Amino acid sequence: MEPQWTEKDFLRCSGSTKLAREMAAAAPFADLDHAVQYARDIWFNKVDVKGWLEAFAVHPEIGATSKPISQWSKEEQSAAMATSGGSTMQELIEWNARYKEKFGFVFLICASGRGSPEILSELKRRFVNRPIVELEAAAEEEMKIIELRLKKLFDSKLRTSSSQTAQVSAGKHEGVIGGHLMAVAKVLSEKPTVTAGRTRPPITTHVLDTARGSPASGLEVRLEMWKGAQSSPSIAERDSRSWVLHGSSITNSEGRTSPLMAITDDVEPGFYRMSFNTGIYNPSGFFPYVSIVFEIRESQKSEHFHVPLLLSPFSFSTYRGS
């Protein structure tokens, strides 16, 4: 029997009504990976900052007891609660309050499998971020939570639909169930967790206009890889044809690009260059373009590299995100 999907189902995965509505409209999904990829696109390209804050607001603080906590939140925080000494938990509560006062939203972290000391350390590390940087970090953590909860949702739907199918199909050939359920079961058995493979390209970016306090849309971005005879590029070869184009895109209303490279588990080690056509975006600005060159080592090929640009007419900065 075909599982039924509703907005309420997807609201359990995220408090964003926009994401829940879009996911319910697109359901059913061929498999879990398809659902996760669709959710990522909605979360980062269609849900605005107001929608992010809406989703953040439904999360309890780590260790919170003052308001109802869902079963999934309890499960995700179980490791933190099991490793929380009295002094650690008190310090975590105090830092949560300081964080919320500074940023205006609850500290977001995918707490599954993480102990209280690790969570407290991460909270302190991120506390020094600028608000615009921390908003992005919180959105990335929320997406990790959404992925975990989609897995739980698929597991729940599979169990319910399997039970209903068994009742309807009593007496028929054993193991015959709906084609959709077979596809989902196959995915869940072969890929027990979402993290078994990538759900996005290994190199991504976004552009924020720090002068306006908003995403920078309509900005051309290019990703290239060094293929020269020398093992590494030099500053004198910035215009060399040894830089081979991987992909290009224009940033959308959220300052994000479409994929600049294919989704692959292991990215090719080497030197990469991310270039931004800032002169077109800011004609009266100081920078005609901005190029960021970075190296991915052999030991890092399975990691994710998020290389954003924080831009104003007369300054820019970048960092390696997650």
CB atoms within 10 A of CB 131: 12
Q: How far apart are CA 223 and CA 267, in angstroms?
A: 13
CB atoms within 10 A of CB 243: 22
Is 319 a known ligand-binding residue?
yes
Q: Which two tokens stand for residue 222?
A: 């290019």
**Residue 66 in 3-state DSSP?**
coil
117 alpha-carbon distance from chain centroid: 23
Is 281 a known ligand-binding residue?
no
Q: Which two tokens stand for residue 75?
A: 């499960």
Q: How far apart are CA 10 and CA 39, in angstroms?
A: 10
Is 222 a known ligand-binding residue?
no
Active-site positions read 59
Contact residues for 295 (Cβ-Cβ < 8 A; gap 6+)? 232, 270, 271, 272
Of the candidates 314, 267, 315, 312, the residue with the CA atom closest to the CA atom of residue 294 = 267
Please, are residues 285 and 313 in contact by the beta-carbon 8 Å criterion?
yes
User: Residue 28, preceding bond cis, omega within 30 degrees?
Assistant: yes
Q: How far apart are CA 2 and CA 198, in angstroms?
A: 27
Q: Which residues make up each annotated binding site for substrate?
A: 206, 256, 319
Q: Which residues make up each annotated binding site?
A: 206, 256, 319
